[in-house]
Chain A
Amino acid sequence: MADDLEREQSGAAEEVSVEQQLARTDEPAAAEQARVDADEADAPPTREQAEGESRPLDDAEQELLARLERELGDGIVESADAFGMLVVRVKPDAWRRAAEVSKHELECDYLSFIAGIDWQPAPREGDEAGGDTSSPVQPTEMTFGVAGSAGRMQVFAHVESTKRHWGVTLKTDVDERDPHAESWVATYPGADWHERECWEMFGVAFDGHPSLRHLYLPSEFEGHPLRKDYPLLARIVKPWPGLVDVEGMPGEEGNGASAAAPAADAAQDAPADADKESS
């Protein structure tokens, strides 16, 4: 029943949003885009949608992609659009070249960030996740986002142009067992810290980086915290305090009972903690 209600409400929300978008945008192209946005959002989230086709590229994106293709050739694996932003996946051995091309051919002089993605699904509830039942449940099968991925680990970066006012997100695949990528420091000096962060958080080594050392974490820290198999230790040491507050609302026993069940468990596990939090 709750699901029906939710679907109804989300449907209504989209109708409203389309009207508003149409009313707010003057150009027909933008209105068309808004309609496409809404149509896509209307469909239930599916795996095909994210992996497969995407919206047509706009002029700036096409220009960016054309320049990238001219320089990188078959170094480009896949490209897609994500809400008006071009995402291009390049081969690992074209990663450094991609930076040079971005800087000189795309006129993207500004480095926004370099970071990693771990596409492996997070451990589900229960023992694997250290008894944590409070966090949002993510899908269990491994899916890859816009422009796809060859495996679990990826490195991605965003560069922008302060003159042309455009930007592009570049992704590259990284070997899961021996993760390493080419360093961008020679092209963008600001890559230094971003790559150090990515190295300590994901364990991705950057070839050609002057000094890969810890940035945030103490130098004796072990493990790579942002990988999905690295548990959030705080949740294992102590149950999420917000959990004990979950109680059924007076009028809806059916929903309340199911929601309160994990809460009751948590409360039994750590009554002392719960008291402390509430006081």
Chain B
Amino acid sequence: MSVDFAVDRQAWRHLADAQVNVELDTGDMILNLGPQHPATHGTLRLVVRLDGERVISADPVIGYMHRGYEKLTEFRTYPQVTTLINRIDWLSSFANEVPFMHGAELLMGIEAPPRAQYIRTILTELSRIATFMLFLGEMGLQVGALTPPFYGFRDREHVLNMIEAATGGRFHPNFNRIGGLKDDLPWGWVNECRNTMKVVLDACNMLEELVAENEIFEARTRSIGIIPPEVGTGYGVSGSNLRASGVDWDLRRDGKPYLVYPELDFKVWTHPDGDSFSRYWVRLQETREAARMVVQMLDRIPSGPIMAKVPRIIKVPEGEVWVETENPLGQMAYYVISKGATGPFRVKIRSASFSNVSILPWLLRGVYVPDVITVLASLYFILGDIDR
């Protein structure tokens, strides 16, 4: 049924009125995204002020999962702190343990034996792969593609199996000890891990075809949510998010030497654009790079002990130490202040997602509502890493 506008002038007038009324009625609308919205990845709440479909201002409300880890560390001994910091960024728990253990070792003047350092680095990179694999699949979900997350979850499982085989825990390995590791690798693990890395590289290729080369995905992510490099650094955005803005800075290469990264040959990937797509692309390349690094390390892993000689009761001498590492989500660092007791006096936990998310009020201004979701997803944060 159609209206003949040429004849029915009344209909024309009616349409014109409607148009005028809409124009008159514009007012800001406040929309709550979260805390329990499927697209917010946990209990992050975004209070968004909208003008039509466009965001005028966005205010993230955090703290729904605040557990007070900085306070709790003051009531724990050094080995007990590991259990807490495992749960900061729960997708890459092993990588959280490393800087804290490294800090305690520095203060005590202990160094983990080479084999332990290698295993630590391998497991850190495996955590990185596991974390990014989930992201690479899940990012498809945010633009409406339901298939990629299943592939992402499936292939991450291979990596989690390797972590579980070595440490006994899929998510919270709690495997680091001051001066080394709890156990050596199980028999046959090295070969199995090599096979897994092939699976990972295949999965990366598949996800690249499935997601990154998809026309709709590109349309939804290219030139959206652009972080200029100078703004990113000012907000303390780190890790892949910053490298996607063209800042060539990776603590594995540029920071104080830690683990066995100085001995490895790897490329730091950057992308000049700084948009949602480049953040996806950089993580994709970093997943591949991590798999290559793991293979390198598997070839070189030395034999020997996995624990240095450590006193039975761990008392850490007085001092302060700042240890930062390149975690999957960005710069993870601890400022440990010790007063010579069995537990730390104060631990400042510098987690990556906290700063990465603090840019949201700046970043979401002027973005359309559906793009809020993709921008959030492309920043890739873990709520525990924000709230601590």
Which A residues are within 8 Å of any B CB, using their own CB?
A: 2, 5-7, 9-10, 12-14, 16-17, 20-21, 24, 37-38, 40-42, 44-47, 49-50, 82-85, 87, 109-113, 115, 117-118, 122, 132, 134-139, 143, 145-146, 156, 158, 162, 165, 169, 188-190, 192-193, 201, 214-218, 225-226, 228, 232, 235
* Contact A146 to B109, CB < 8 A, known contacts A192-B358, A217-B66, A226-B71: no
The residue among A87, A111, A137, A193 with the most chain B CB atoms within 10 A of its own CB is: A193
Q: Report if B75 contacts A (CB, 8 A).
A: yes
CB distance from B175 to the nearest CB of A (A): 20
Contacting pair A138 B110 (CB below 8 A)? no
Per the 8 Å Cβ criterion, residues 332-370 of B in contact with A are 333, 335, 337-343, 345-346, 348, 350, 354-355, 358-359, 362
Q: List 20 A-B contacts (CB under 8 A).
A: A6-B315, A7-B311, A13-B110, A13-B179, A20-B308, A45-B315, A82-B320, A83-B321, A85-B321, A109-B234, A110-B249, A138-B343, A138-B345, A156-B335, A158-B322, A188-B234, A189-B234, A216-B387, A232-B71, A235-B75
Task: Give the docked Cα–Cα distance between A225 and B74 (Å).
Answer: 12
Task: Give the docked Cα–Cα distance between A118 and B62 (Å).
Answer: 24
Contacting pair B72 A139 (CB below 8 A)? no
Task: Give the docked Cα–Cα distance between A118 and B348 (Å).
Answer: 12
CB distance from A219 to the nearest CB of B (A): 10
Cβ-defined partner of A111 (8 Å) among B106, B236, B310, B312: B236
Contacting pair B354 A85 (CB below 8 A)? no
Proximity string of chain B (51-70) to chain A, C-beta cutoff 8 Å, 1 when within and 0 when not: 00000000000110010101
Contacting pair A14 B109 (CB below 8 A)? yes
* Contact A190 to B234, CB < 8 A, known contacts A9-B312, A122-B74, A143-B339: yes
Contacting pair B318 A50 (CB below 8 A)? yes
Contacting pair B114 A110 (CB below 8 A)? no
Q: Report if B7 contacts A (CB, 8 A).
A: no
Contacting pair A40 B63 (CB below 8 A)? no
Contacting pair B255 A17 (CB below 8 A)? no
Interface size on B, residues (CB 8 A): 69
**Given the complex, which residues of B lie within 8 Å of A42, measured CB to CB?**
109
**Given the complex, which residues of B lie within 8 Å of A225, measured CB to CB?**
68, 71
Contacting pair B76 A136 (CB below 8 A)? yes
Contacting pair A190 B341 (CB below 8 A)? no
Which 9 pairs across A and B sit closest by C-beta, in order of nearness? Answer: A41-B109, A136-B343, A216-B63, A45-B340, A45-B317, A190-B235, A13-B309, A135-B75, A162-B249
Contacting pair B308 A16 (CB below 8 A)? yes
Cβ-defined partner of B109 (8 Å) among A38, A165, A216: A38
In the complex formed, the residue of B with least CB distance to A41 is B109
**Given the complex, which residues of A lie within 8 Å of B208, measured CB to CB?**
none
Contacting pair B255 A117 (CB below 8 A)? no
CB distance from A11 to the nearest CB of B (A): 9
In the complex formed, the residue of A with least CB distance to B307 is A13
In the complex formed, the residue of A with least CB distance to B113 is A20
Contacting pair A110 B236 (CB below 8 A)? yes
The residue among A16, A87, A169, A217 with the most chain B CB atoms within 10 A of its own CB is: A16
List 13 extra interface pairs beyond A42-B109, A50-B318, A143-B318, CB under 8 A: A2-B313, A9-B311, A9-B312, A13-B179, A13-B308, A17-B308, A38-B109, A41-B109, A49-B319, A110-B238, A111-B233, A138-B341, A143-B339
* Contact A215 to B62, CB < 8 A, known contacts A85-B322, A115-B348, A162-B249: yes
**Given the complex, which residues of A lie within 8 Å of B77, measured CB to CB?**
136
CB distance from A33 to the nearest CB of B (A): 12
